[in-house]
Amino acid sequence: MNNPTILYEVRESIAKITLNLPDMRNPLTTQVVQELIASLHEADQDDHVRAIILTGSGTVFSAGGNLNEFKENVSKSVPQLYWEGRESTKLFELGATLRTPLIASVNGPAFGGGCGLVAMCHLAIASDQAAFGTTELRLGLIPFVILPWIRRAVGERKAMEMMLTADIVSAEKALEMGLIHRLTTAERLEEDTWQLAKKVASYSPLAVKLGIEAFRTTEQTDLATSFAHLNTLRLVSFKSHDLKEGATAFLEKRAPVWEGR
């Protein structure tokens, strides 16, 4: 589903989604958000896709919200802003419901909503040319919608610091903070991202999906409730074809053939 703002391709069970407005620094315009949501849904619902890579074209991952659209908001009514905001919020709500591993491949600066996308992804690998920041206060805003993902990625105190200082941090600092998981060179980013995606995609898709569900559904629950829920999910694995195949393949010293059931 390629279009002017989003590039979409599937290869080797991996979907690659590329923000494709490099001359505008890949902003999260209304159109981009709608098309990105559609692309993520398509990849997540494709049983042949076992990992999703999200990146930006050019030298910027995403500079976040579009300033021209921000200026237009001044003339809009509160109800109109509310309903338009609900639509854009759906992008970041997706992070809690995606079943397929989403991997950020951060090729350059990721500011505002772009930084939020990185925090939302299950895994994040960045080039040493990348930079990060919740820079909204420089425009008289705060990072409202992305704040939950930033908080989960870096913790309460760091999230507060990022929000109130609007500082831009290096990829090295982002790794130290936990905002990204891996750091590589600009020259190796594409290859290292692909190897990471292939590794995740090589495992049982059923087990991976159950793992993501287990992680997300127990984030805010108490221990007793978590254990009860996780034990129920474990029953699905115990009775799955993939677990039987994985155990058999291990004993037979061969590669497993996953069917995702």
Chain-centre distance of CA 84, in angstroms? 22
Close Cβ partners of 53 (under 8 Å, ≥ 6 residues apart): 14, 15, 16, 17, 103, 105, 193, 194, 197
Q: Measured in whole angstroms, how far is the alpha carbon of residue 200 from the centre of its chain?
A: 14
Residues 84 and 165 in one domain: yes
Q: How far is CA 224 from CA 200, 214, 220, in A?
A: 30, 14, 12
Same domain, 165 and 43: yes
Same domain, 23 and 137: yes
Pair (128, 242) in one structural domain: no
Instruction: Per residue of the chain (261 residues), give pLDDT as tens.
Output: 555 899 999 999 999 999 999 999 999 998 999 999 999 999 999 999 999 999 999 999 999 976 666 556 666 677 766 666 677 789 999 999 999 999 999 999 999 999 999 999 999 999 999 999 999 998 888 898 999 999 999 999 999 999 999 999 999 999 999 999 999 999 999 999 999 999 999 999 999 999 999 999 888 787 788 878 878 887 888 788 888 888 888 888 889 999 888
Which pTM was predicted? 0.90
- Rounded to 10 deg, the angle between the 113-120 and 147-154 helix axes is 50
Strands (E), the chain: 6-11, 14-19, 51-56, 102-106, 110-111, 123-127, 131-133, 169-170, 182-184
* Number of domains into which the chain is organized: 2
Q: Fill in the amino acid letter for 180.
A: I
Residues 36 and 101 grouped into a single domain: yes
Q: Residue 45 belongs to what domain range?
A: 6-201
259 is a domain residue: no
Euclidean distance between CA atoms 194 and 210, whole angstroms = 23
CATH number at residue 191: 3.90.226.10
Residues 218 and 126 in one domain: no
Which pLDDT belongs to residue 70?
Answer: 56
Same domain, 176 and 235: no
pLDDT at 41: 96
pLDDT number for residue 17: 98
Q: Are residues 91 and 139 in the same domain?
A: yes
pLDDT given for residue 25 in this prediction: 95
CA angle at 92 for the pair 87 and 93, rounded to the nearest 5°: 80
